[in-house]
Amino acid sequence: MPDYGRFCPVALTTEVLADRWTPMIVRELTLGNTRFNDIARGLPGISRTLLTQRLRHLEKHGVLERWGTEYHLTPAGKDLEQVVGAMGRWAIEWLFDGLYPQEIDPYHLMWWMHRRTDPAQFPEGRAVVEFGFTAPDPTTVWLVLEHGEVSVCHLHPGFDSDVVLRATTATYSGVFSGLRTWHEAVRAGDIEVVGRRPYVRALPTWFLWSPFAPAVRERAARA
């Protein structure tokens, strides 16, 4: 296919970023996902073949580089974090009515949540958080916090749960995306929380939520 020409800087950027899925792949890399399978988990719907092609494309254009089995952003790639962030904020401002965070499935939501945590706030030892999804498809996912890391378990991890939550997928995703706060959802009774009292109080501090949550909250207030 013919290119866009080389007389405009926007055209040059378009050649690198305008393919379907490419900005989303850059988003995953800026969030710290470096392994192929981890990048794929953050992109429900992309085929492994297409992901491979897009990663090679970004490598060819100097956005990322391979370190063995891992992919790491180059300085040029890290600079694209500002571009991806601007795209997200633009959508929140101008396409707000088209955002449906509740459409995410429980497993991908938990994958997103586990990488948006603050290990400095974790309790000592191990903490097991049981997320019960009551609707639309009832299921349970566990997050295990230990040694500053978080594991996502689709099967029972073999440890007792320190905190047990119950809510719909839409409620959890609404809190993560910034449509409402954790405390608002709990006070309204939309999230049921039981467990060890210190952990119940501290749990919302363990999560950083979506990087776009402040912008979503601000835009929702003006809706």
Residues paired with residue 164 on neighbouring β-strands, in sequence order: 130, 194
Give the residue-averaged pLDDT of 165-181: 97
Per-residue pLDDT band at 4 (split at 50, 70, 90): confident
The H or E element spanning position 163 is: strand 163-167
Rounded percentage of the chain residues whose pLDDT exceeds 90:
91
DSSP 160: -
Give the residue-averaged pLDDT of 50-77: 97
CATH superfamily of 101-221: SCP2 sterol-binding domain (3.30.1050.10)
CATH of domain 9-94: 1.10.10.10
Give the residue-averaged pLDDT of 63-78: 97
| H-type alpha helices, the chain | 9-17, 22-30, 36-41, 48-60, 75-94, 106-114, 169-177, 182-187, 197-202, 213-221
DSSP 119: G
Give the residue-averaged pLDDT of 66-95: 96
Per-residue pLDDT band at 2 (split at 50, 70, 90): low
Question: What is the pTM (predicted TM-score) of this model?
Answer: 0.91
Whole-number average pLDDT of the chain: 95
> In 10 A of CB 202, how many CB atoms?
15
Instruction: Please write the tens of the pLDDT for every residue from 106-146.
Output: 999 999 999 999 999 999 999 999 999 999 989 999 999 99
Q: Give the per-residue pLDDT at 203.
A: 97
9-94 and 101-221 share one CATH topology? no
- Residue spans of the domains in the chain: they are 9-94, 101-221
